[in-house]
Amino acid sequence: MKRYLILDCYVDEPACLGVPPFISPYPRYIYGALISAGLSPESIDYQTIDHLRNNNFSLSDDYEHVFLTGGAVVPGKYLGARIGTLTEINKIIRQNKKIKIAIGGLINRAVDSGLGNVVTIKNDIEKFAFTLIKGEPIDLPRTTEEIAQWSVAGAEIIKKHPWFPDIICEIETGRGCPRESHCSFCSEGLIKIIEFRKTEDIIKEVDSLISAGATRFRIGRQPDIIQFGSNLKVYRNGFPQPEPSAVTELFSELQHRKDSGKIKILNVDNANPGSIVNWPEHSSRILETIAKAVTPGDTLPFGIESFDKEVVKLNSLKVTPEQAVMAVRMVNDICGFRVDGIPALLPGINLIHGLKGETMDTFRINYDYLARIAEEGLLVKRINIRKLQPYPDTPIYSEKYKITNGITKRFEYYRDKIRDEIDNLMLRQIYPTGTILRDNFVLEIREGYSLAKQIASYSITVKIPGEFQFKSFQDVIITGHRERSLSALPVPFNINKAPAKSFEFIPGIGKERASQIILKRPFEHREDLRDFLDNTPPQLAKSIIENSQIEIP
């Protein structure tokens, strides 16, 4: 029996995420295409880059063909996972010269394709996989009708993911940016045909993934969820008119599954602020629908990229600085209501360094606008600041301009200033001390502390005193705010067994008072702890007492 391998090196694209706990559509579509072409499940293996790292990047020689996907345009940092690098993927190619390897995803334009065993797929690797098994391999785009079939047939592969069942399935609603012009750096603009999937096909895929054991979903594989289902006939300032009924139909079906308990986490990703500010009435209805459906604490990222007017102009960015503020304000007004103490849906802001036209003033301008947003009382769930890695065939890739050390140092100065001042302020307002944060997944244990985060989109890292079981779930009480993370105590909080460092996490209790608490134990009643919390913020003290338990050693 011929054997085939789907090799997932993880992806982080402008409109798709597949770094654990996320699983992207790529491996699911490839698996579905192979099954639909006639292969048996027993003949198809699925591995990730982590498996190869543990095996010196060597593959079994008996694979007839390997389908490899990977790539990051603007790579980020990930707790508990690492995306496959170009160096690693080239090493896989060189060390396995006897095996035929087809490469898809954004990595395809950057790998070492000079070896005879490699074919780089310029269109869709799932289409290539299907036609290969059928005996006539071709490199062509797939159709939405094919994805409707392959996405359902490929659902079972999620059971082979090393993080299963603790994964989030990234769901595609369409591809191609519907703007009349495109940002200078964005690979999504390279897709010439704008496609939207049918709602019924998306829901069939979700249902098949639920049947396979998935409970967490992000509607994230699209450049702009506001534009889902738009007819692309009426434009305003380069942005098509949104169609609220299409978004309502999709999210109503998803909300029904969430309310019935079939979906535990429902998140969304990618909204174009230009669509929102150019079509405010249509977008308001869409935002209301999404905010009602998603799991509270969600993020709606905006690719603002820069608040510098000249940079916006030279790179064909989506919105002017004033329009960006307007979009942030609209999402706050419509979606910022709290559920169990957590805002339902807040905007995120993506900023990039490396765009054409940046000057020594660019990053001060970015800071000033973020400070203005904060002063207005608006909340931003996440400010993502990255350095651009130009992607082949995008307009900026061919630009031969040099970024000076002075500009880079200026960028780093204001990046750190934003982290220290703006990020921390936002965290304090979004997650007040005393808030309960549920189901945090322990991903690292380090020097007596556990680092955890919810299995959700753009979730916040929580530092908990104590070494909890790896990949266990912990509820926590937020006690403090760190750089892009939170300090917290476990729930329930065991007063008589907690280590001294746990009490030191409580504002108003230092090392000396923590030692006094340890010496005073065992307590017979949780109210006995209140005497030590007189310098602790009242809401936090109340939350600690209510979520404490007494267990006599």
* DSSP labels, 294-340: SPTTEEEEEEEE---HHHHHHTT-S--HHHHHHHHHHHHHHH--EET
**Contact assessment for residue 317 and residue 361, using Cβ atoms and an 8 Å cutoff:** no
Report pLDDT for 80.
Answer: 84
Q: Is the pLDDT of residue 329 over 60?
A: yes
Report pLDDT for 398.
Answer: 79
The CATH class that applies to domain 436-549 reads: mainly beta
167-430 adopts what CATH topology? pyruvate-formate lyase- activating enzyme (3.80.30)
Q: Any idea which of 9-18, 112-121, 155-164, 412-421 has the lowest mean pLDDT?
A: 112-121
Q: Is the pLDDT of residue 134 over 70?
A: yes
Report pLDDT for 76.
Answer: 63
Q: Any idea which of 123-127, 164-168, 482-486, 541-545 has the lowest mean pLDDT?
A: 482-486
Q: Give exposure, 165-203, as e/b (b: 16+ Cβ within 10 Å).
A: eebbbbbbbbbbbbbeebbbbbbbbbbeebbbbebebbb
From the list 482, 396, 377, 489, the residue with the least C-alpha distance to 440 is: 489
**Contact assessment for residue 300 and residue 345, using Cβ atoms and an 8 Å cutoff:** yes
In the chain, % of residues over pLDDT 90: 82
Task: Please give the single-letter amino acid code of residue 485.
Answer: S
Q: Is the pLDDT of residue 75 over 70?
A: no
Mean pLDDT of the chain: 93
What residue segments make up the domains of the chain, in order of their start? 3-133, 167-430, 436-549
Phi/psi of residue 33, each to 5°?
-65, -40
Q: What is the pLDDT of residues 262-287, one digit of tens each?
A: 999 999 999 999 999 999 999 999 99
Q: What is the pTM of this model?
A: 0.94
Mean pLDDT of 304-328: 97
Report pLDDT for 466.
Answer: 93
Q: Could you tell me the sign of the dihedral formed by the alpha carbons of 3, 9, 10, 15, in that order? A: negative
- The CATH number for 3-133, chosen from 3.90.25, 3.40.1350, 3.50.30, 3.40.50, is 3.40.50
Q: What is the pLDDT of residues 175-199, one digit of tens each?
A: 989 999 888 888 777 777 899 999 9
Number of other residues whose CB lies within 10 A of the CB of residue 527: 11
According to DSSP, the residues that pair with 12 across neighbouring strands are 17, 72
Mean pLDDT of 487-497: 95
